[in-house]
Amino acid sequence: MRVPVLERLVAPSIAMALFCCTGLSLWAQDRAADRRRYLDPNTPVSDDPQRIPVRPGPTGPEGAIVLTGGRVFDGTGTAARPATIVIERNRIAAIQPPAAGGRPAGARIIDVTGMTILPGLIDLHAHLTYGFGTAEEPWNLAADHVEATLRGVERLRYFIESGITSVRDVGSHGSVPFRLKHWVRQRRLPGPRVFPAGQLLTGTGGHGAEGLRPGSSLWTYVREVSGPVDWRNAVREQFKAGADVIKIASHFSPEEVKAAVEEAHALGLRVACDCETFYVDWAIDAGVDIIEHPLPRTDDAIRRMAERGMSAVPTVTAYDFVFDERGGYFGSTSRRFGFSPARNVEMIRRLKQAGVKTGVGVDVVGINYRYQLPAYIRELKHFVEAGYTVAEALMAGTKTSAEILDMDDKLGTLEVGKLADVLVVRGQPDRNLDDLTHVNLVIRDGEVVVENGRVVIPRHPALPIPPPVGMPR
């Protein structure tokens, strides 16, 4: 058992000794990225924020894909232009003028004339396994891990069919999101990359924990935490499980949120916070990285978010569903304030005017996952309503969202050397967002996973039965 008093006495002494001997202060690590300074740039690492060293060697499927005849919206801010995209294994190998030659031998040539090639979309706020108490998803099965896994598998298909190639799961049941991540990575399931947070961490009785009890829909989805030491342990538990981000929610004390953020940053992970009113101020003071939802905060809080380089994921569309379906957000002690659809859009405008980096997350839960693509488009339209151009809104869902995901070195734009997560749609979505409904082709990690709008599941190779033991092989 760790003793908090002893910890407070000993830790500063250790830190001072390290500073004297090495010139480095333990308290200098204010951000998750600070841990990156210890990485060897020549050592390959996993394609996730944990950056785990992996064996060197080729990755992705064998062969090459060449997309010809289309216009490329690369997400960097450059205007769309005619170009050819060359993919080798799971990387973008070249972006060439239409008439250029030099295609890899044996490459698969795909003609996308009349279409736009753009980076795969990113949804920063999803709950892959959350049930909702319907005929298809009854409450008595909401906490069942088998049912939760099957819900997740089905929802992965909805995401990838929508052209969404990366999903940040900010709270799901137990180990399910981690297993879904690995099965997709191993190409055993069709779906987007999954970047899981694990459990939502909240103070006892906080957001998501109201009425929490064994068998309830959120029983293994939420971890109630009490006291700074327990908050540190909860962060470590999610890290041990394989978290790519830590998700916390109010309520918490200033000391608790500070402990959680310090622990996450020391482990190299960012912290996303579902919080409101004065809890936003406490979260900013503690150094969280991302504030979720369009919940109330002061202009001063928004100014401080911008000054400290913090990000936002407004999820306005999720609250559209709440107001449309229920007329308001009722029955929750964590929503004791006034807000409305108009105020929520205004929050995006305030964030933009202050210069806060803002990404796209939809947060459709329950049966609303069936509306994943139109909900995503609606969220982008809210960005336009708040003052973004159509192209800027599209970049919020690709480039900016990759930055918030801590994956902008690998995802979010079409650039040579980046991972080949590519969306091809009929039309010009950088001018008309509704053209995103015309998904034709999706490539994730260099593999065609949606073709002609339908999920592609390759046939398993027919392997010969091994000979009996002792026989020549």
Q: pTM of the prediction?
A: 0.92
Q: Are 77 and 223 in a shared domain? A: no
The domain that contains 203 carries what CATH number? Answer: 3.20.20.140
The tens digit of pLDDT for each residue in 228-282 reads 999 999 999 999 999 999 999 999 999 999 999 999 999 999 999 999 999 999 9
17 vs 74, higher pLDDT = 74
Of the residues 354, 382, 411, which one is the last residue of a structural domain? 411
Domain for residue 65, yes or no? Answer: yes
Decide if 335 is inside a domain: yes
In a shared domain, residues 177 and 265: yes
| 15 shares a domain with 100 | no
Same domain, 73 and 161: no
Would residue 436 count as lying in a domain?
Answer: yes
Has residue 52 been placed in a domain? no
pLDDT tens, 139-153?
Answer: 667 778 898 999 999
Asked whether residue 39 is assigned to any structural domain, the reply reads no
User: Do 71 and 200 sit in the same domain of this protein?
Assistant: no
186 in the same domain as 269: yes
Domain residue limits at 342: 121-411
Percent of the chain surpassing pLDDT 70:
92
CATH number reported for the structural domain that contains residue 434 in this entry:
2.30.40.10
Q: Considering its fold, how many domains does the chain have in total?
A: 3
Residue 283 in any domain: the answer is yes
Q: Above 50 in pLDDT, residue 97?
A: yes
Judge whether 35 lies within some domain: no
Residue 142 has a pLDDT of 73
Residue 220 falls within a domain, yes or no?
Answer: yes
372 and 237 in a common domain: yes
283 and 425 assigned to the same domain:
no
Q: What is the pLDDT of residue 73?
A: 98
Give residue-wise pLDDT tens across range 346-400: 999 999 999 999 999 999 987 888 999 999 999 999 999 999 999 999 999 999 9
65 and 172 in a single domain? The answer is no
Same domain, 70 and 191: no
Whether residue 68 sits in one domain with residue 157: no
3-state secondary structure string, the chain? CCCHHHHHHHHHHHHHHHHHHHCCCHHHCCCHHHHHHHCCCCCCECCCCCCCECCCCCCCCCCEEEEECCEECCCCCCCCEECEEEEECCEEEEEECCCCCCCCCCCEEEECCCEEEEECEEEEEECCCCCCCCCCCCHHHCCCHHHHHHHHHHHHHHHHHCCEEEEEECCCCCCHHHHHHHHHHCCCCCCCEEEECCCEEEECCCCCCCCCCCCCCCCCCEEEECCHHHHHHHHHHHHHHCCCCEEEECCCCHHHHHHHHHHHHHCCCCEEEECCHHHHHHHHHHCCCEEECCCCCCHHHHHHHHHCCCEEECCHHHHHHHHHHHCCCCCCHHHCCCCCHHHHHHHHHHHHHHCCEECCCCCCCHHHHHHHHHHHHHHHHHHHHCCCCHHHHHHHHHHHHHHHCCCCCCCCCCCCCCECCEEEEECCCCCCHHHHHCEEEEEECCEEEEECCEECCCCCCCCCCCCCCCCCC
- The pLDDT mean for the chain works out to 91
Indicate whether 357 and 444 sit together in one domain. Answer: no
pLDDT in tens, 263-277: 999 999 999 999 999
| 30: confidence class by pLDDT, cuts 50, 70, 90 | confident
